[in-house]
Structure 1
Amino acid sequence: MVDRKDIGSWLEGPGARTGSSSAYPGERLGMPRAGAGSMGRFGRRLVGVVIDWVLCSLIATALFRVPLPFTAVATGSQSLIVLGIFALENLLLVGTLGSTLGHRVVGLRVLSADGAAARPFQVLVRTILLALFLPAMFWDKDGRGLHDKAAGTVIVRT
């Protein structure tokens, strides 16, 4: 019988079939195990995106009278307004400061995979894919989402 580990995943990279693994997320990228500069883990990233989404929902409510997600069901166009504000927030803040408000609260920063600040094109690609949501749901052994892999970015702890 063929098992998933026999086939491997293209997201897991070249070591998937050989069974070589790293001791901790980010080791293959030359990052420390813990502390500043280590990989931002799923829990922190999830809290950060929830903070960003709530803030964007509040902005949409204030500017466009979109109902808050926990008070009423928004229509499709109202949900797109919140998504547009979320994408704009990511594009502007990650492009200039290296992090969104939610990232800053939980101590995360978006960098290029080479350790430099994320470049404008990387931020654009990352934002477009993040707005599609689906790429963010798939990640590799290092915890990098498909949107980060495609953009050549990584989320690290500050």
Structure 2
Amino acid sequence: MSGEKRPTTFGELEPSKYPGERLGLPNQGPRSIARVGRRFAALCIDWAIASAVLLPFGLPLGTLWTHVAFGVLQIIFIPTLSGSLGHRIMGLHLVRLGAGGWIGFWKPVVRTLLLMLVVPALVWDSDQRGFHDKVAGTVLIRTRA
């Protein structure tokens, strides 16, 4: 047995060399952590789709209705497509951390409710996972280079 001291708290962990390293994910390419640019583009696409859904109903855009439409679309498409429409267009995929397989229904609901609060999405860890993903036990990864 070596005299090497193992970390016992998060503050004692060595810094990651890249986002996703601690999760066993590659640095680049498919299955790597989705980076900020793609995430932001996916969010803009999803917001535009939510706004477009409201147009035929004559509901005002940029209000609580847009927020609700955004949330409903997230809750519908994350369990069925493993990501929102914006995620899929940008080559992203939402998966359960460590387990793989179907993400289920409740994880997307919890994740979406936290995402709609905005602040949890702005609080990230060193793996670039927002608080909403940490609580839901999910990770947003790339499906293509």
Once residues 31 and 118 of structure 1 are traced to their aligned partners in structure 2, the CA distance between those partners, rounded to angstroms, is 18
- 1:55 equivalent to 2:49? Answer yes
Q: Which amino acid aligns with 1:20?
A: E
Once residues 61 and 66 of structure 2 are traced to their aligned partners in structure 1, the CA distance between those partners, rounded to angstroms, is 10
- 1:147 equivalent to 2:132? Answer yes
Q: How far did 1:109 drift?
A: 0.7
Once residues 19 and 97 of structure 1 are traced to their aligned partners in structure 2, the CA distance between those partners, rounded to angstroms, is 35
Q: How far did 1:48 drift?
A: 0.2
Q: Which amino acid aligns with 2:17?
A: A
TM-score of the two chains, using structure 1 as the length reference:
0.80
Once residues 68 and 86 of structure 1 are traced to their aligned partners in structure 2, the CA distance between those partners, rounded to angstroms, is 11
Q: Which amino acid aligns with 1:122?
A: K
Aligned to 1:111: 95
Q: How far did 1:81 drift?
A: 1.0
Aligned to 2:32: 38
Aligned to 2:141: 156
Aligned with residue 127 of structure 1, among 104, 109, 112: 112
Query: After TM superposition, what 4+ stretches of structure 1 lie above 2 angstroms from structure 2?
Result: 66-69
Aligned with residue 66 of structure 1, among 56, 59, 64: 59
Aligned to 1:87: 71
Unpaired segments of 5 or more residues in structure 1?
1-13, 70-78
Structure with the higher helix share, 1 or 2: 1
Aligned to 1:101: 85
TM-score of the two chains, using structure 2 as the length reference:
0.87
Unpaired segments of 5 or more residues in structure 2?
1-8
Q: How far did 1:115 drift?
A: 4.5
Q: Give the 3-state SS of the residue equivalent to 2:73 in structure 1.
A: helix
Once residues 59 and 122 of structure 2 are traced to their aligned partners in structure 1, the CA distance between those partners, rounded to angstroms, is 26
- Between Structure 1 and Structure 2, how many residues are aligned? 134
- Root-mean-square deviation (CA, aligned residues, Å) is 1.4
Once residues 61 and 109 of structure 2 are traced to their aligned partners in structure 1, the CA distance between those partners, rounded to angstroms, is 27
Q: Which amino acid aligns with 2:85?
A: L
Q: Which amino acid aligns with 1:32?
A: P
